Amino acid sequence: MNYGFSKTTNYNFEEAIEKVTEELKKEGFGVLTTIDVKETLKKKLDVDFKKYIILGACNPPFAYKALQSEEELGLLLPCNVIVFEKEDKTVVSIFDPMVMTEIIKNPAIGEIANEVKTKLQKVLESI
């Protein structure tokens, strides 16, 4: 994956969600949205899917600073974190905010994205 970073954990699915939420909080992120993909696909399409959650994580000071530099950046926010089951393991993947710098050619966004990436990598290392 070239647009994020991942880690396979020894946590079960529910534990991984709790742990990643806790570690995000330590780095100043809150979870604004939680999308249960398995539940949504079952409800909308009546199909079975593996356990898969999308967490919309936001660090308000960084979001505010970035939005001041680039109004339409909200199209790329919040930072998504996914937790899913794969081959009896639980995987946590986090969007790499540096990908935004390939789309938005604003040096201020690059600086912010780099700081956010460092924090998100700490989250993944702590899991």
- pLDDT tens digits, one per residue of 55-113: 999 999 999 999 999 999 999 999 999 999 999 999 999 999 999 999 898 999 999 99
Residue 51 φ then ψ, to 5°: -65, 125
Above 70 in pLDDT, residue 1? no
Q: What is the mean pLDDT of residues 108-127?
A: 96
Report the alpha-carbon distance of residue 110 to residue 122 in Å, rounded: 19
**Neighbour-count burial of 26, counting CB atoms closer than 10 A to its CB (0-12 exposed, 13-18 middle, 19+ buried):** exposed
- pLDDT tens digits, one per residue of 34-69: 999 999 999 999 999 999 999 999 999 999 999 999
pTM: predicted TM-score of the whole model, two decimal places: 0.93
Report the alpha-carbon distance of residue 42 to residue 54 in Å, rounded: 16
Asked if omega into 97 is within 30° of 0 (cis), the reply is no
Helices 107-126 and 60-69: crossing angle, nearest 10°?
Answer: 160
Name the pLDDT band for 2 (thresholds 50, 70, 90). Answer: confident
Q: What's the topology of domain 4-126?
A: TATA-Binding Protein (3.30.310)
Give CA torsion, residues 42, 13, 117, 29, to 10 deg.
90
Which of 33, 7, 35, 36 has its CA nearest to residue 19? 7
- State the chain's maximal CA–CA distance in angstroms: 45
Q: What is the mean pLDDT of residues 107-125?
A: 95
Q: What is the mean pLDDT of residues 109-122?
A: 96
Which of 87, 75, 82 has its CA nearest to residue 17? 82
